[in-house]
Structure 1
Amino acid sequence: ISSFNHIQNKNKKDGRINLTADERTRLINNFSGYDISPDMVRLSLVNMYLHKFPVPKIYEYDTLASEEKWNEFYDIILANPPFMSPKGGIKPHKRFSIQAKRSEVLFVDYIAEHLNPNGRGGVIVPEGIIFQSGNAYKKLRKMLIENSLYAVVSLPAGVFNPYSGVKTSILFLNKNLAKKTDKILFVKVNHDGFDLGAQRRKIKENDLPLTLEIIKKYKQSIIEDKEIEFNRSEEKLAHVVKKEKIAESGDYNLSGDRYKEAVVYNGKWDFVELGELCDFKNGLWKGKKEPLKKISILRNTNFTKTGVLDYSNVAVHPIEISQLKTRTLEYGDIILEKSGGGPTQPVGRVALFCKKDGQIYSYSNFTARIRVINESKINPIYLWRCLHYLHQQGITKNCQNRTSGIRNLDLNAYKKIRIPFPPLEVQEQIVAELDSYQKIIDGAKQVVENYKPTFKIDPEWEIVKLCEVMLVNKSTVNPKKYGKNKFVYIDISSVENGTGAVSFTNKIEGNKLPSRARRIVKKGDILLSTVRPNLKAFCFLEEVPDNAVASTGFAVLSATTKVEPKFVYFQLFSDYLQEQMINRMGKGSYPSINQKDVQELKIFYPPLDIQQKIVLQINNERKIINANKELITIFEKKIKDKIADVWGEQ
């Protein structure tokens, strides 16, 4: 129906459809379709009747198993064929040129084979068609490239939400055009005018109109036998690749990004002052003059160490509307910390604003907004990466002064900072590379932050007091009597909340240790922070250095032969134990539990062999978590090294 309406609209003049009765009849008689589902066929027939098709040609037909209509060919085929193959695969007849059991392969093969010599086709396909390495997929891509394929448009994952979040592409087929060119056009659509969530809300960014113009331009270049030239906007989305290049590996891979020429850069660029590239605007706070409007205000407290914003605690204040006009944040703006900092952290942190939820945001009087003046010269995200890096390197320290104990940024001095200024194309490649690293970091963080050791509780398990299976604070020592002998002191700050990571770097002479340095620890002990145990400063001591002593802020749990100590350790993080500890915490500045509270904690106590199996399972899970932590460290360093390379420091 959409195709029929499109043809009619293209033939309108002065609001009237400029088709003769004969042309309209021939048009109606030449639309046909197949579906294996009788219900879908009935629905389609009704729809066609309602749109004034007197004898609609919609047939119940198994395209893959039946040969009845094999000899029917078409000028145009448009399809969004099923991607799912039934369990056990498809049992097609033998007339397909590609022998396969996957429905998506067979449907694309069918469409390509049933085009007339001058036929055209548009097919939405899953990513398997684009890059899967199976023989059938490779043979299909080879056949398409040699016979009919002239363009591939990559769509973002989520364009079919809420029905499916699958990543798809569109294959454009034209047997006539394909014979005349030795290249394939690749276009990457990043935005289609709607966000990619389940609700598909409308957004400003839409690459589809430009994509259509690029395809038209490419087709015309083939017809005129000319080399296509893309302007700056077009080359962000599109590029062409020779067919022989695609065939080189034998995979005939249709992922356009695979063939993009890398822009080589050596980190030696001109440096330009920030003031030449950006517009700066100071922030605001509560307004006094009417009219006022309540607005979300981003503050220093919303900054994070990674340079992104935390929106979980945003202030809302009445703001003078006259002031707001020039202080409403836009996507890609950078918020600069003007006042704040600390003894070990200079002022000048930056955070990228990248909200598109339609809500109005502004920024506080302790900050300023940085906005790129001309995005055809500098990429805002590249700029943010550079500014974040120079703060990390302590460069902003040279631009700060202090008044009344507060560190303030000298904005004039800051504007004079010179940053590397490569061509926009290089900036965008740097951003793309760093974004790919960031996606890996974000994915690994999701795994780490959402993990907590869990196991299934058997209601038949015994429940015992902790003191029945563990010794609590078994032995103490006064290290001061050992004089200048050095001790490894483990205090509350040595143990990372929630992760079990412990540091042994705090080495102090015995006579200089604080009076609370008294707990003797050994390999296999558990340290349980009795001060604010809800923060989960717990650790299992896999290894212990010589002369190690822990603070009395910990309860030291030593296992008896009755229990697997790590099984007890993992339980400390559970909601069941946490609830007990929180209920026993005292009030005051340092809410804590005492030794008796620890001894009275109730734990699950299954047979020892079950404890050991559970510990083995959780240890295997934690290996994966630790691998993700290592991944985060590696790729954070990659980001830092890449920016350092841009600054010419490596």
Structure 2
Amino acid sequence: MLDTNTKRRIDTARDILVGKVPDPKSQVEQITIALIYKFMDDMDAESEEFGGERRFFSNGYSKYSWAKLMRSGLGGYETLNLYAEAIAKMQENPAIPVLFRSIFKNAYLPYRDPETLKSFLKVIDEFEYDHSERLGDAFEYLLSVLGSQGDAGQFRTPRHIIDLMVKIINPKKHEKILDPACGTAGFLISSYKHIKDANKETPLTPDEMGSLAANIKGYDISPDMVRLSLVNMYLHGFYNPHIEEYDTLSSQDKWNEYADVILANPPFMSPKGGIKPHKRFSVQSKRSEVLFVDYMAEHLTPTGRAAIIVPEGIIFQRGKAYQQLREMLINDFLIGVISLPSGVFMPYTGVKTSILVLDRVTARIKDDILFSEVKHIGFSLGVKRTPSNHNDLPNILNDYEAYHNEGDLSACSWVASRQEILENDCVLTGSHYRSIDIKGEERLVSLSDVCRFTKGTFSSTKTEPGPYPLILTAAEPKTASKYQLEGSSVCLPLISSLGHGKAALHRIHFITGKFALANLLVALQPLDDNELNTKYLFFILDAKKPEIASLMRGAANVGMKPQDLARFQIPLPPLEIQKEIVAEIEGYQKVIDGARAVIDNYKPQIPIDPEWEMVSVADVCMVNPKKSELRDLDENTEISFVPMADIGENSMSFEPKKTKKLREVTASYTYFKNDDTLIAKVTPCFENGKAGIAQHLKNEVGFGSSEFYVLRPDKSKIVPEWLYLTVATPAFRAWATPQMTGTGGLQRVPRSVLEDYTIPLPLIEKQQAIVAEIRAEQALVNANRELIERFKKKIQATIARVWGEDKTESES
């Protein structure tokens, strides 16, 4: 369990670095290097304490010891130069093991600010070397800040998904375990913990522990990932971790090495031009996801097992390589496919994925394959990851035990014969093989059973309003009339909304009356109006856009065929129930539409009197007050901290969510007090309207991003809200944007532009009266926002009930 103090230190170290090192991966690297530096000195000190000698910081490297680096009296630039020189030279230190030299390989200090470095090193100095689980968990928490490694297609795998895969595969103490795309070694460490836990009644002997450590191996093509893996393994008790920089797909050096257990989340994305693999793969392809799965299957021992996260292309793509790969897996390796919901990898990506479970022994014995669908993972699928009581993962784990022991399966899982799958182009989409359920009077039916499908014929991809919706050339009604459809219909695009090789469905259309259809859309109309209500069909399908998008295939031009959509299943209650559901949802939607109209049409209006005095911003406020005002405040005083992300857009006030010690923020952040107005100065935050008045600061002091301007009003001249209402406006943003300086995405508003901007200045009493009126209006607008969110949840809850998901209105 990660203790609070260690987590706080890591967060503080990142907060100090963020102004100079904005990339999360670089922050992790800098903290990793500093921690290992400090720990080597700790180990030297421990050696001296027990009568030994310093090992790491000896001979010519003694001048770099942590104690000398942190000694009082050392100037800021002296500290900076000494530290930068030390980390750059440490890889040449003959006294440190190869592991540590690997960690310091190509290390450097990416900034030259001595105050930032001193604050950073002060936090690192609070850590103490310890091989305990606590420190390993702390490092895993540090790694959790890593986001997408976009170009390589890598995404950090959530811990609960890793643990599920490990438990299903159940690695043993004598087995060789491999992750050929190991990232930060999460699968390897989870396997190690699983084996230790499985043997806790008869703990592993020292020889068994040594053998286990030697059997756990990982490869990664990225030297940065290798460095992080080495540290992560080391802090979990691996004194000589076997992590190597290796191109799994292009190199043949390790081709003849096999493993009993392989666990991996390999890169999803192939670089432009594809991979250039050698010729020893069974499946010839240039797609990384195909090659990785082929590699892992081919490198299992005769009794080997694997669990692999794959993108949806592996599941249903009909290209030759994909079909050849699936056929090989179905015949000799595959025992299970676990479909994961689209949001598993949020906030990094919403990509849809599945887990392939391979078991060479079981595949030879059993004639069927287990399919599972995960809808709930114990957390919400949005960015915030709110814990939830809904969790299908324990059911999936139990289903694999039941599959092996001929037991009963939960509602999350079902089986299909290998022969049936082979006859269906080896497609591994589980819904194709799930039998129709009868739930009282409610049935699950395929769309083809209840709908007429009509594919469009016009060469258009646009949707336009008017007498002929979904036609590009609305000026051709005579031509269009030959292709008219009539009646209520649900129309879906057959191509991805995103392009770029990604499957997505952003919009489904409900159409009534006469219309003509573009050739990249398909219209669904009920075969029998007494069986299926069209509006009900629209609401049901609109709620399942990600699942429908998973039917799309292709590399560059991603799309689906009407016949694939025809197999999609929906719940079909009696017609009267359908009409009740439609009436309920439409009632909620009317409330949402009304509230949204209020929000969209409301803008604070200040009736400008031409006789009011016009003044510059600099005449009525101080811009960026000096931090020297706080010189009498103790450095351990708790103050409020406000990252840029916590400031809203076009909302008048904000309240801070975090607190820090004054000493943690003084060097790198912007200072403000209650009633000060903050305005973002950097693109795109400035253009988006990030601004607000500080309220309820702890000890009346706040610090925030250096990319804010702070406006402190002279309250004898101007009311704080009046200052905000006249400066944080679209008019000011439009006036200032052409005067921004800088290059690319880092343009900023010059301070002089802000100070020279002129605003109206009536008497204080008039300002107060207008502000009070606007405050009252904004309270009503905010109430409408809350109303929208509440009624959206009501709609979601209604749809979820129909799908049998039992989602409560309060669930996020």
State the TM-score, normalized to the length of structure 1.
Answer: 0.46
- Which of structures 1 and 2 has the bigger CA Rg? 1
Question: Higher strand proportion, which one?
Answer: 1
State the TM-score, normalized to the length of structure 2.
Answer: 0.37
